[in-house]
Structure 1
Amino acid sequence: MNTDFINLTAENLATEHLCCIIRSKKPHPGVEAKRQWLSDRLSEGHVFRKLNEKATVFIEYAPLETAWVPIIGDNYLYVYCLWVLGDHKGKGYAKSLMEYCLADAKEKGKSGICMLGSKKQKSWLSDQSFAKKYGFEVVDSTDYGYELLALSFDGTTPKFTPNAKNPKIVGKELTIYYDMQCPFVYQNMEMIKQYCDANDVRASLIQVDTLQKAKELPCVFNNYGVFYKGNFETVNLLDVAYLERILKK
């Protein structure tokens, strides 16, 4: 097991690969968009820690106060992503990353750590069963299947904002809220724009580009949130088949 991990910093951000999407030749627009997003976050205490090789082995977290999610609480860390994929699974990497985050939180005097979950595990959400092995518990929930998991060190707990618990919007057209933290979002949004243009589908594609916008979102959010006919649909990235199923409702 390779135990060489590194954290992204302002000094190495331009040259280090981002393990969400591994590219060795042509620049990837989504990766570069995320790199720019990270450059504005690192000074806020945002942490991106990864295995020091070309692999999808990383954890990404931030102080909850500056995390781009509609979750509020005092003195918590929020885990955006914890991923170990491919041949690296089953070798203890997730354990190493989680334990680093736990140690970092305790060293900084945090009240705990939280992350987005759901009653049924969904793609694009980190493995909540793994988190529960460390003592994470459901501390808040929505009526539409999503949960907030937290590991509290002092008995306090974070919570979803009221807006996130009431996933309704006025507009009836396809509406997608997105940010550039996830490198898969850029090309996904390009695909959706092309589909909507080619099929005369009215759409409101709203980039979440400030912390305030993120905290005020009308649904749970993990870089992406989809509405249609005023109703919340998913935080999962859409492919054409999924998009067409939604539009048939």
Structure 2
Amino acid sequence: MELVRITADNLEKEHICCAIASARDPQVAAKKAWLAARLAEGLVFLKGNVRGKCFIEYLPAECAWAPVEAPGAAVIDCFWVSGQLQGQGNATLLLNACIDDCRAKGKTGLAVLSSPKKRPFLSDPDYLRRRGFTVADRAAPWFELLWLPLKPDAAPPRFSPSVRGPGPAAPGFVLYYSHQCPYTAKYVPVVRAVAEAAGVPFQEVQLKSAAEAQACPAPWPTYSLFYNGAFVTNEILSAKKMVQLIGELCG
């Protein structure tokens, strides 16, 4: 499969794989605006030349939108191959291209957020372990920072101190999110509306810079929902799932 690298020149015309195809959809617009601002910071978005979920997105750790300390390394913030594109070697093609690029740039290694078992919106731990990634750090309740060193003397990464501290002090729900994932543009308003209809306090915190994301109290700043200061989920919830969650927590 041919791989396409997103640049400032082709960003507007390329399908970005994981949101609705229409360029007018707010999800697409939000993601492309986020990407446009990150390209100058060294972000790489590499995709299969297809209309489907087949891509890898990574950037220098110093500019990563994640509470990770990994000087000289790179951080994969999204790696997704699904549907009919699975089982054809496409994930290996993408990851190999990422590794080759990072070696050429002199990166010390690759870090990626995962968990002991496959969870929504986190990279597949079984596949990554088969490719040589090992656990460098852990954070409650289920997050693992996986690591592939690219230099023999590479120091492993670790989570930032922000993820070890207390959660937000506000009562009710507090949602941290960014437009790194296009789905937040659609589903953040959805869960806010559900919470407001149920009379449950709801506060959203949009992270608008790498510095803000690196100071997030949760390991996955793209979307992390807290309730009464405790982490609840990193899954981007539909209205139905938010209703169920409120029933479980507030019923």
Q: TM-score, normalised by structure 1?
A: 0.94
AA of the residue aligned to 2:205: I
Query: Paired residue for 1:145?
Result: 142
CA distance in 2, matches of 1:118, 1:174: 23
CA distance in 2, matches of 1:167, 1:126: 26
Determine if contact 2:74/2:111 at 8 Å carries over to the other structure: yes
Match status 1:111 vs 2:108 = yes
Task: Say which SS state the counterpart of residue 177 (structure 1) adopts.
Answer: strand
Distance 1:167 1:85, change over 3 A: farther
Query: Paired residue for 2:5?
Result: 7
Deviation of residue 167 (structure 1)? 4.9
Query: Paired residue for 1:223?
Result: 222
Alignment of 1:114-193 (within 5 A): 114-152=111-149, 153=151, 154-193=153-192
Determine if contact 1:228/1:246 at 8 Å carries over to the other structure: no
CA distance in 2, matches of 1:13, 1:84: 20
AA of the residue aligned to 1:98: L
CA distance in 1, matches of 2:160, 2:145: 11
| Ranges in structure 1 where 5+ consecutive residues have no aligned partner | none
Distance 1:26 1:48, change over 3 A: closer
Aligned residues: 246
CA distance in 2, matches of 1:41, 1:132: 28
CA distance in 2, matches of 1:66, 1:93: 27
Match status 1:83 vs 2:76 = no
Query: Paired residue for 2:242?
Result: 243
The partner residue of 1:17 within 15, 18, 28 is 15
CA distance in 2, matches of 1:229, 1:246: 13
Task: Say which SS state the counterpart of residue 41 (structure 1) adopts.
Answer: helix
Determine if contact 2:23/2:29 at 8 Å carries over to the other structure: no
Task: Say which SS state the counterpart of residue 83 (structure 1) adopts.
Answer: strand
| Ranges in structure 2 where 5+ consecutive residues have no aligned partner | none
Q: Bigger shift: 196-205 or 14-23?
A: 196-205
Identity score, percent: 33
Q: Deviations over 1:100-139 (max 9, x none)?
A: 0110111011100000011222111111211111211001
Deviation of residue 246 (structure 1)? 3.5
Q: Deviations over 1:128-162 (max 9, x none)?
A: 21111121100101242211000112331110011
CA distance in 2, matches of 1:118, 1:28: 31
CA distance in 2, matches of 1:148, 1:37: 24
CA distance in 2, matches of 1:131, 1:60: 15
AA of the residue aligned to 1:107: A
CA distance in 2, matches of 1:235, 1:197: 20
CA distance in 2, matches of 1:50, 1:120: 25
CA RMSD of aligned residues (A): 1.5
Determine if contact 1:119/1:145 at 8 Å carries over to the other structure: yes
Determine if contact 1:170/1:230 at 8 Å carries over to the other structure: yes
CA distance in 1, matches of 2:189, 2:125: 30
Task: Say which SS state the counterpart of residue 44 (structure 1) adopts.
Answer: coil
CA distance in 1, matches of 2:228, 2:240: 18
CA distance in 2, matches of 1:142, 1:87: 33
Moved over 4 A (4+): none
The partner residue of 2:68 within 67, 71, 79 is 71
Deviation of residue 242 (structure 1)? 3.1
Q: TM-score, normalised by structure 2?
A: 0.93
Task: Say which SS state the counterpart of residue 213 (structure 2) adopts.
Answer: helix
